[in-house]
Amino acid sequence: MIIKKPKINLKSIFPPVVWFRQYNTENAVCDFIAGITVGLTLIPQSIAYAALAGLGPEYGLYSSLCGGVIYAVFGTIPQLNIAPTALLSLLTFTYTNGAPFGAANAAVLLCFFAGLIELVCGILHLGFLVDFVSVPVVAGFTSAGAITIASAQVKNLMGLSFNGETFIEIWKNVFEHISEAKLWDGVLSIVCCSVLLLLRQIKDYGTPPVSESKEGSRDLKSILKTFVWFLSVSRNAVVVLLCAVMAYTFSLHESKPFSLTSKVSSGLPQLTPPPFTVVSNNNETYTITDMAKYLGSGIFVTPFIAILSNIAIAKAFAQGKVVDATQEMLAVGFCSLFGSFLSSMPVNASFSRAAVSNASGTRTPFAGIYTSIMVVLSMTFLTPYFTYIPKATLASVIICAVIFMVEVSIVKPLWKINKIDMIPLVVTLVACLIIGIEKGILAGVVVDALFLLYYSARPRVEIEEVMNDSHNYLKIMPDSAVFFPAIENLREKIVQTTNNKTDKFQTVVIDCVHISRVDYTSAKGVASLCNDLEKNGKSLVIVNAVVDVERVLSGACSDKCIFAKTDQDLIQSLKDFPFRAGSVATVHFDYISDEWYKDSEKGTNL
Amino acid sequence: MIIKKPKINLKSIFPPVVWFRQYNTENAVCDFIAGITVGLTLIPQSIAYAALAGLGPEYGLYSSLCGGVIYAVFGTIPQLNIAPTALLSLLTFTYTNGAPFGAANAAVLLCFFAGLIELVCGILHLGFLVDFVSVPVVAGFTSAGAITIASAQVKNLMGLSFNGETFIEIWKNVFEHISEAKLWDGVLSIVCCSVLLLLRQIKDYGTPPVSESKEGSRDLKSILKTFVWFLSVSRNAVVVLLCAVMAYTFSLHESKPFSLTSKVSSGLPQLTPPPFTVVSNNNETYTITDMAKYLGSGIFVTPFIAILSNIAIAKAFAQGKVVDATQEMLAVGFCSLFGSFLSSMPVNASFSRAAVSNASGTRTPFAGIYTSIMVVLSMTFLTPYFTYIPKATLASVIICAVIFMVEVSIVKPLWKINKIDMIPLVVTLVACLIIGIEKGILAGVVVDALFLLYYSARPRVEIEEVMNDSHNYLKIMPDSAVFFPAIENLREKIVQTTNNKTDKFQTVVIDCVHISRVDYTSAKGVASLCNDLEKNGKSLVIVNAVVDVERVLSGACSDKCIFAKTDQDLIQSLKDFPFRAGSVATVHFDYISDEWYKDSEKGTNL
């Protein structure tokens, strides 16, 4: 049940022990450029995702603060940056929205619990749990999450204000309040979205700073290309900055055409334990137990999703190396746990930041430290100006990030390759939209598990009538292991087939070539099958059983049928088909030749 | 997902259409003797089980009334008799005990719902659901049920009175109230249990009335042997009768040494619909929805257990014939549904009655009609005397029946054959005793399902380094299908192995001989594996894939690795190992010989 064997050594727990020895100036330059570039993506993202989680922008920056540093110590994949993400922010909103002890307190506490659970999963090597979430289910909930997030931002695009969490509520409200839409918010949104999408597109015309093709050539064209690439990658920062400057200019003229972000506390967060006890405004005291009850399943769902995406992203950027899932869980666990002491909301790696980091040529996780420094700088000098960021701009940033998370592209190959996998995809997508992300994932996982159980319960069975001069028999070959849910069906099939063709053959042969395991129930079922066949004057022979299967089957049937050498019918059938269950574990059907029969008469191959 | 293909014809729905044509005097005599014998077992059983369900003795008889007749019309296995059983009575008690609208109303309504669900399961062919309950789980909950029932009767053995449902509550109460034990109840219990166990033992010295060995010889010894057999089989009736006569005699002398059964309403039950609306004593009205909510999961658990035991018992007595699970579900469904119009509590077949019936030589389900007639006669003439049956006697009857349901005998073979199956057994047993039968079964089924999922997630993989003169490669052979939970682990294993032995071979060969199905996720995983290997300068070849697997894998990998003929490494590896994925679906490793290579150069076997 372990994804990786435990290795308690320094190299494994502190990866810098390995990479720091080979750290040189080139690595440092690459990491610096990448760290700054990721920072330019991260800062506007974290402000926007904080808004998505229903918190003030400062919480986004608090959450981005220590991920870079901690991951540099514990992480293994240079491209990863642990900070707020769209999906986790959505989950945070779902679980903390309207908490009577304050949404921010709830979010920080959720981050603390998530970190704890992630560490526990790492220590107990529970990474295998994410194996039970299939690609279609991941595609389903990611898409549903993106759709929900985008829908929730539609109100900010148009300057509407209403409450509503689920996909259906939100759209109902949008249509009800559509007449209250604010002109300038709408205009700004259209402009922002257009610019963001345009800047996203031009990336292909640019070149990353440390691209191999550019090496050595520092002419104007290549500098321009690098500039285009930077502009594209830092598009969120550019758009947010421009809009904030514009709103600030308006405000100098006492005009306020856009809905703006609320007041932001400036400066660095205090290093303080997560809120284990909270006294609310109306003087009620909430203990950690009360608050944990309020967060409910979020305490498990949030870290599960965090681990799931983290391992998936790590694998995508591992470049042929094996991802140490345990180490990744520990890394993200420590990031969340330390983060919660700096008022962080739940965090994990984001695919978009990892892609930017990868394109910027990151060499080691040290790049994260530069990203963290950028966050500190922005917190120190920029927070007073955050209040001038229009809500519509943040909404545009979020929407232009998440619409590409809707995995439309999976549908075609899925349909082409394996149509049945459309079912978990559609179930997850629809369930996530209607009953919420966390229950939707559960629904998808359950559907997937039911498929697996169904395959265990109903292996395909090949039934062949073998008619030779020397022996007639009915050959039964299940295509996979026969466990307890499968045996009664198999038994029934065999009894029915033999009853229908009662005079044709006296022997039923089960070919176990595809059977790797049997359990007590199926062994008992085979024993009952022996009895059934015996009553109808037939005998049962087991061939090609591996040692384990043979041991279990002979244990259950020993005094029943196969080993009952005195049984008249069995002797007869063994004469026709001269080998017995316990003796043929290694003999393949295809090898049965005249020589074999001759040998068997001499007793050499029994 | 269907246990049997639907066959809508008269023969299948009304089995008497078949057997009634061949019905002759001999059959009639056999059925008569068997019907009467079963009746002698059934009547005391049903009074006792009614007490176990917390109802008056008359409800036991009401429940035994129509099972025989209805099963004669719809049933297929002559030995089965649908009436109260220990396990269903325990469940009935669990779900109806203390119902504010009356336990009897609740029990009858539960019977009605159970019948409905059984019919629905029959019509929708949901019999396959019982396949997911393995033998160890059945053994676990049957044993736990027997232990709970026996424990609950201990108070009646000693004349104690207290409330308590679960195993732990009951024994705690027994020890607290032990000082209140009544002498004569205790003495009577010891005598009754001894006599019952003794009479049970002497069965082996007797001979059933229609035994073949007895045929034709009607001497004294054979008559005596038949008498011994009858005495043993009707031991419950004998003991109950003797005790009731004794208590009646005491009552004539104004003495009442034993706790007696409460007053019994005499006569036949009224034909009336189940209580769809009930007005309670304190004038509250309960609608069918209120009552269904009160019964809760019992509405599904009760019919599920009924179907489970019914199909298991039917299979045990089918004698090599195929049991029509659908027809059995319809039969027991009709019995319950009709029964609920005659104030029946939930019913199904009992193993003990089926064994008695079998030993008595039943020929057709018509025997059940004689059993029903006996029940009618006892209801008409005996009910006034039921009140004289001592509670201790009924408790003795129950205990002596259920102690043999504790499946101690399964432990030894289970340990010998497949130790891992001890886990579902122990989990089910302990969970049933601590948190109740219905949750305990669920726990057992979940544990079993987790095992199946684990096997799906972690197939054993054989890794072999093949070093020939002509080609070196790493052969990977999973022992069963590779579904989504398995692929990441397999991928990691392969990448790790190849990274460790990087210079030894350039080609990884996955042998799909045991793989019958793949899904989208595992196909995508194979594609990622291709990429991983490519990055490490290695190529991947798939062999022995069946058509379906080949189609899915080639769909996912087509433009990635296996079909990338231009890739330098792959061409090199294909030179060493000259066949490609899509082309070798039917070639077995064992056959790769010099001839094959020669042929392959000519292109005849590609």
Give DSSP secondary structure letters for A514-555: T---B-HHHHHHHHHHHHHHHHTT-EEEEES--HHHHHHHHH
- Cβ separation of A520 and B135 shorter than 8 Å? yes
Q: For residues A370 and A292, give the distance between their C-alpha atoms in angstroms, rounded to a whole number.
A: 35
Q: How far is A398 from chain B (nearest CA, A)?
A: 29
Instruction: Determine the distance from the C-alpha atom of residue B178 to the mean position of all C-alpha atoms in its chain, rounded to a whole number.
Output: 36
* Of A47, A39, A46, A42, the residue nearest A261 (C-alpha): A47
| Residues B339 and B464 occupy one common structural domain | no
Instruction: Give domain status of residue A441, yes or no.
Output: no
| Residues A245 and A320 occupy one common structural domain | yes
* Of B37, B55, B38, the residue nearest B394 (C-alpha): B55
pLDDT digit string (tens) for A29-63? 888 888 888 888 898 889 889 988 989 888 999 99
Examine the pLDDT at A569 and tell me if it is beyond 70.
Answer: no
**B421 → closest Cβ in A128, A449, A520:** A520
Which helix (H) or strand (E) segment holds residue B539: the answer is strand B539-543
Is the ipTM higher than 0.90? The answer is no
Determine the straight-line distance between the first and last CA of chain A, rounded to whole angstroms.
38
Total residue length of chain B: 606
Do residues A161 and A155 make contact, with C-beta atoms less than 8 angstroms apart?
A: yes
| Residues A361 and A477 occupy one common structural domain | no
Do residues B226 and B214 make contact, with C-beta atoms less than 8 angstroms apart?
A: yes
Instruction: Give domain status of residue B191, yes or no.
Output: yes
Total residue length of chain A: 606
The angle at the Cα of B180, spanning B174 to B183, to the nearest 5 degrees, equals 105
**B452 → closest Cβ in A4, A321, A456:** A456
What six digits make up the tokens of A460? 């395909």
* Of B421, B427, B448, the residue nearest B439 (C-alpha): B427
| Domain-terminating residue out of B389, B408, B427 | B408
A127 to chain B: closest CA residue:
B489
Examine the pLDDT at A222 and tell me if it is beyond 70.
Answer: yes
Half-sphere exposure of B273 (CA within 13 A, CB side): 5
- Cβ separation of B514 and A459 shorter than 8 Å? no
| Residues A518 and A369 occupy one common structural domain | no
Residues of B in contact with A458 (CB under 8 A): 1
- Which pLDDT score is estimated for B602? 36
| Residues A195 and A335 occupy one common structural domain | yes
* Of B52, B147, B40, B167, the residue nearest B398 (C-alpha): B52
Provide the domain count of chain A. Answer: 2
Q: Can you tell me whether residue B252 is helix, strand or coil?
A: helix
Instruction: Give domain status of residue B337, yes or no.
Output: yes
| Residues B373 and B492 occupy one common structural domain | no
- Which pLDDT score is estimated for A558? 59
Instruction: Determine the distance from the C-alpha atom of residue A18 to the mean position of all C-alpha atoms in its chain, rounded to a whole number.
Output: 28
Q: Which of B4, B422, B520, B592 to mutate to test the interface with A (most CBs of A within 10 A)?
A: B520
* Residue A255 vs residue A347, higher pLDDT: A347
Residues of B in contact with A499 (CB under 8 A): 321-322
Q: B190-214 burial string, b = 16+ CB within 10 Å, else e?
A: ebbbebbeebbeebeebbbbbbeeb
Q: For residues A514 and A527, give the distance between their C-alpha atoms in angstroms, rounded to a whole number.
A: 20
* Residue A588 vs residue B298, higher pLDDT: B298
C-alpha distance from residue A99 to each of A59, A102, A294, B428, B596 (Å): 16, 5, 8, 40, 72
| Residues B258 and B386 occupy one common structural domain | yes
Residues of A in contact with B519 (CB under 8 A): 134, 418, 420-421, 451
C-alpha distance from residue B550 to each of A571, B515, B525, B539, B583 (Å): 42, 10, 14, 17, 9
- Residue-wise DSSP of B39-85: HHHHHHHHHHHHHHTTS-HHHHHHHHHTHHHHHHHH---TT--EE--
* Of B325, B452, B133, the residue nearest A451 (C-alpha): B452
- Cβ separation of A452 and B555 shorter than 8 Å? no
- Which pLDDT score is estimated for A215? 52
HEC secondary structure over B150-165 = HHHHHHHHCCCCCCCC
What six digits make up the tokens of B582? 């899509």
Residue B279: burial class (beta carbons within 10 Å; 0-12, 13-18, 19+): exposed
Residues of A in contact with B531 (CB under 8 A): 320
Residues of A in contact with B417 (CB under 8 A): 520, 523, 551-552, 555-556
Q: How far is B345 from chain A (nearest CA, A)?
A: 30
- Region A486-491: what's the mean pLDDT? 87
User: Going by C-beta distance under 8 Å and a sequence separation of 6 or more, which residues neighbour residue A51?
Assistant: A57, A60, A156, A261, A391, A394, A398
Instruction: Give domain status of residue A39, yes or no.
Output: yes
Determine the straight-line distance between the first and last CA of chain B, rounded to whole angstroms.
38
- Cβ separation of B414 and A531 shorter than 8 Å? no
Q: For residues A558 and A560, give the distance between their C-alpha atoms in angstroms, rounded to a whole number.
A: 6
Do residues B301 and B77 make contact, with C-beta atoms less than 8 angstroms apart?
A: no
Query: For position B526, which CATH number holds?
Result: 3.30.750.24
Confidence of residue A424 (pLDDT cuts 50, 70, 90): very high
The C-alpha R_g of chain B, in whole angstroms, comes to 32
Q: How far is A101 from chain B (nearest CA, A)?
A: 35
Q: Which of B420, B519, B558 to mutate to test the interface with A (most CBs of A within 10 A)?
A: B519
Do residues A561 and A531 make contact, with C-beta atoms less than 8 angstroms apart?
A: yes
- Cβ separation of A454 and B1 shorter than 8 Å? yes
**B457 → closest Cβ in A131, A136, A532:** A131
Low-confidence winner among A267-276, A281-290, B167-176, B463-472 (lowest mean pLDDT): B463-472
- Which pLDDT score is estimated for A189? 92
Instruction: Give domain status of residue A440, yes or no.
Output: no
- Which pLDDT score is estimated for B98? 85
Q: For residues B242 and B272, give the distance between their C-alpha atoms in angstroms, rounded to a whole number.
A: 35
Residues of A in contact with B414 (CB under 8 A): 520
Residues of B in contact with A569 (CB under 8 A): none
Q: For residues B603 and A573, give the distance between their C-alpha atoms in angstroms, rounded to a whole number.
A: 44
Instruction: Give domain status of residue B173, yes or no.
Output: no
| Residues B35 and B101 occupy one common structural domain | yes
- Cβ separation of B322 and A492 shorter than 8 Å? yes
Q: Can you tell me whether residue A276 is helix, strand or coil?
A: coil
Residues of B in contact with A517 (CB under 8 A): 455, 480
B490 to chain A: closest CA residue:
A3
* Of A11, A6, A12, A14, the residue nearest A74 (C-alpha): A14
According to DSSP, residue B474 is labeled E
pLDDT digit string (tens) for A348-366? 998 888 888 888 888 888 9
Confidence of residue A580 (pLDDT cuts 50, 70, 90): very low
| Residues B352 and B472 occupy one common structural domain | no
B320 to chain A: closest CA residue:
A532
**Cβ–Cβ pairs < 8 A, chains A and B:** 183
Q: For residues B119 and B341, give the distance between their C-alpha atoms in angstroms, rounded to a whole number.
A: 16
B519 to chain A: closest CA residue:
A418
Residues of B in contact with A495 (CB under 8 A): 320-322
Do residues A417 and B556 make contact, with C-beta atoms less than 8 angstroms apart?
A: yes
Q: For residues B127 and B478, give the distance between their C-alpha atoms in angstroms, rounded to a whole number.
A: 32
Examine the pLDDT at A115 and tell me if it is beyond 90.
Answer: yes
- Cβ separation of B533 and A320 shorter than 8 Å? yes
Residues of B in contact with A536 (CB under 8 A): 320
Examine the pLDDT at A137 and tell me if it is beyond 80.
Answer: yes
Which helix (H) or strand (E) segment holds residue A463: the answer is strand A461-467
**Whose structure tokens read 């349901």?**
B405
Q: Tell me how crowded residue A404 is: count the other CB atoms within 10 A of its CB.
A: 14
* Confidence (pTM): 0.77
Do residues B110 and B295 make contact, with C-beta atoms less than 8 angstroms apart?
A: yes
pLDDT digit string (tens) for A448-485? 999 888 888 888 888 888 776 556 678 888 888 888 88
In this prediction, the residues of chain B whose per-residue pLDDT falls under 70 are: 1-11, 210-218, 468-472, 502-504, 558-606
* Of B191, B229, B222, the residue nearest B208 (C-alpha): B229
**B552 → closest Cβ in A135, A417, A492:** A417
Residue A332: burial class (beta carbons within 10 Å; 0-12, 13-18, 19+): buried
Do residues A486 and A459 make contact, with C-beta atoms less than 8 angstroms apart?
A: yes
- Which pLDDT score is estimated for A447? 93
Residues of A in contact with B496 (CB under 8 A): 322
| Residues B495 and B582 occupy one common structural domain | yes
Q: How far is A517 from chain B (nearest CA, A)?
A: 9
- Cβ separation of B458 and A1 shorter than 8 Å? yes
| Domain-terminating residue out of B345, B374, B408 | B408
Do residues B544 and B578 make contact, with C-beta atoms less than 8 angstroms apart?
A: no
Residues of B in contact with A518 (CB under 8 A): 418
pLDDT digit string (tens) for A533-551? 877 777 787 777 777 777 7
Instruction: Give domain status of residue B138, yes or no.
Output: no
- Which pLDDT score is estimated for B211? 54
| Residues A210 and A296 occupy one common structural domain | yes
Confidence of residue A196 (pLDDT cuts 50, 70, 90): very high
| Domain-terminating residue out of B408, B423, B451 | B408
- Cβ separation of A136 and B458 shorter than 8 Å? no
pLDDT above 70: percentage of residues in chain A: 87
Would residue B550 be called left, alpha or beta, if left means φ above 0 and alpha means ψ between -120 and 50 degrees? Answer: alpha
Residues A164-173: contacts with CB under 8 Å, at least 24 apart: A165/A93, A165/A94, A165/A97, A165/A436, A166/A433, A166/A434, A166/A435, A166/A436, A167/A433, A167/A434, A168/A433, A168/A434
Instruction: Determine the distance from the C-alpha atom of residue A192 to the mean position of all C-alpha atoms in its chain, rounded to a whole number.
Output: 31
Q: How far is A436 from chain B (nearest CA, A)?
A: 24
- Which pLDDT score is estimated for A212? 52
| Residues A112 and A207 occupy one common structural domain | yes
Range of the domain at B316: 15-128+181-408
Q: For residues A441 and A311, give the distance between their C-alpha atoms in angstroms, rounded to a whole number.
A: 17
- Cβ separation of B519 and A320 shorter than 8 Å? no
Instruction: Give domain status of residue A156, yes or no.
Output: yes
Do residues B91 and B302 make contact, with C-beta atoms less than 8 angstroms apart?
A: yes
- Cβ separation of A556 and B532 shorter than 8 Å? no
Which helix (H) or strand (E) segment holds residue B349: the answer is strand B348-349
The per-type count for chain A, helices as H runs and strands as E runs, is 26, 8
Residues of B in contact with A128 (CB under 8 A): 457, 485, 489
